[in-house]
């Protein structure tokens, strides 16, 4: 995800803007892995292979997101690991 997208991205649930960006892997202004966080509804959206996955709760892939959280639990902030995920590790 090119960081310039932050200017236009909003939470799909409550339309909150701007979102917080947490980068795990970034190069040349492109985030290949990270997370977006909505401060209004406290949801997180993973960025995987440069793609922000911003779906409503009922369409989210639980296994993919749990794996993402487990793999990045030491990199992402506590508010994403414990509060922002719908399945709570």
Domain assignments of the chain as residue spans, ordered by start? 3-84
pLDDT tens track for 8-31: 999 999 999 999 999 999 999 999
Query: Does residue 89 register a pLDDT over 50?
Result: no
8 Å CB contact between 19 and 7: no
**pTM metric for this prediction:** 0.90
The CA distance from 63 to 3, in Å, is 26
DSSP 66: H
């Amino acid at each position: 995800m090119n960081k310039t997208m932050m200017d236009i991205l909003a939470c799909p649930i409550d339309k909150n803007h701007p979102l917080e960006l947490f980068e795990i892997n970034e190069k040349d202004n492109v985030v290949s892995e990270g997370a977006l966080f909505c401060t209004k509804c406290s949801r997180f959206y993973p960025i995987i292979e440069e793609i922000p996955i911003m779906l409503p709760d009922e369409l989210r892939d639980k296994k993919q997101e749990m794996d993402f959280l487990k793999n990045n639990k030491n990199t992402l902030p506590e508010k994403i690991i414990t509060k922002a995920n719908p399945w709570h590790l």
